[in-house]
Amino acid sequence: MSETLVLPVGPEASAGDPQRDIRQGTIIAVLFFVLFLGWAAFMPLDAGVYAQGQIAVAGNRQSVQHRDGGMINAINVREGQHVKAGDILIELSTPELRAAERGLTSDYLTLLAQRARLMAERSGRRDFAAPAEFASLNPADREIAQQVLSLQRSELRARSGATSAQQSVLGQRSAQLAQQQGGYAKQRQALIEQQRLIAEELAGLKSVAEKGFASMNRVRALERAQADLKGQEAQMMADYARAGEGIGEARMQSLSVSSSRLEQVESDLKETQSKLSEVLPKLVATREQLQHSEVRAPASGQVVGLQVFTVGGVVAAGQKLMDIVPDGRELVIQAQLSPTDADDAYRGQKAQIRFVSVHNRSLPLFSGTVRTVSADSFSDEKSGRSFFRLEIVVPEAELNRVRAVLGSGELRPGLPVEAVLAVRKRTALQYLMEPLTGALWRSGHED
């Protein structure tokens, strides 16, 4: 009868050689360790330093401030609004300044019209054209100009009329005296003729009287009449001379009126020019201050950091009202680096950048190059933390990669980013060994 051999089946079969299992496990562990060391020895894991920052505009934002301050009359923008250069952002109320500007403008226009009137008066004209400065006036000033022109033209006519009246009176007096002279001359001629006739009669009568044929009383009467006529002739000559003197005086007075008027005009013209020299600079300065009451955009761009929101609120002198992020400026990364890592940062260094606040798995990392490193550290006023400033420039091609995912409107200044600056090349094994080698180096230098 033959015997049948039954082999064990199940766990009992593998538990027969434990040494073999140990050898297999050891071989697997050693093989894994060798493969890991090989991978770590050749796997690149470059060293880098970490910096936090944000997207910014090259050349920084442009702050909008007001030199003098004042009360807010109107706010014409909102946060994030796009504006053009020269747009009125905020209007400040300055009633005292505007009242002063109106008064100075009225004085200035009046003096200009007065100067034109005096120049016309000096030239003997009865009217004058509006000054050239009136051609470019705004509607409000043009109304004032028309009023002062009307007043000055009326004054020119009045002054010219008064002078003409004086000249007319003096002319009439001269004419009257000239007529009197003519009468005196005719009366003298009549007296001379009477004297001639009496002289002829007296000559004939004397010869007859000498012969005794005529009375001497008649001769004496004719002689008395002749003497009286001579006296009247002398009076006529004196009256004629006085009339001539009166004519001369009237003419002198006429010349004096014209001369005095010209002297007064010249004096008024100098005074007017002097006042213009005083008023014009004041007016220019006041208008410049008024222009500053309208806060305008220094450049085209986006409004950020708006600081004022209340109409009727007060703005302090020099207070920052908002910032403008200019259009068309290069986008850069402004980052802060720890002072302990500052020695590892340098110009031209490569950097890998990623967004912190944008959660999009398809968003790629993008690279840049360090353009500037601050020469000294800065301190945060709030936290007291020290840091070095970095500016990392990003090529346009890299930005386009990001825009392709985010969209062109989402890539804007202020977005936070993280940057890693490549310091040196190393492997994963060197990375793992750095703590050990550092500890050994420190222990080797201890006392």
pLDDT tens for residues 218-273?
777 877 887 887 888 788 888 777 877 777 777 776 676 676 777 788 888 899 89
**DSSP E strands: which ranges in 58-152?**
62-65, 70-75, 82-83, 88-93
Give, for 147, the enclosing helix (H) or strand (E).
helix 139-210
CATH class of the region 44-59+329-427: mainly beta
3-state secondary structure of 41: helix
The per-residue pLDDT for range 124-158, each reduced to its tens digit, is 788 888 888 888 888 888 888 889 988 888 888 88
The strand pairing partners of 422, in sequence order, are 48
Tokens of 203: 């000559």
**CA 325 to CA 96: how far, in whole Å?**
34
pTM: 0.46
Question: Based on C-alpha coordinates, what's the Rg of the chain?
Answer: 57
Q: Which pLDDT score, from 0 to 100, does residue 19 have?
A: 78
Confidence of residue 325 (pLDDT cuts 50, 70, 90): confident
Query: What's the CA gap between 92 and 106, in Å, rounded?
Result: 23
Domain ranges of the chain: 44-59+329-427, 63-92+298-315, 97-292
pLDDT digits 0-9 by tens, 275-313: 999 999 999 988 887 777 788 888 888 888 888 888 888
**CA-to-CA distance for 32 and 85, rounded, in angstroms?**
67
- Rounded to an integer, what distance in angstroms lies between the CA atom of residue 373 and that of residue 349? 10
| Whole-number Å distance between alpha carbons of 167 and 183 | 24
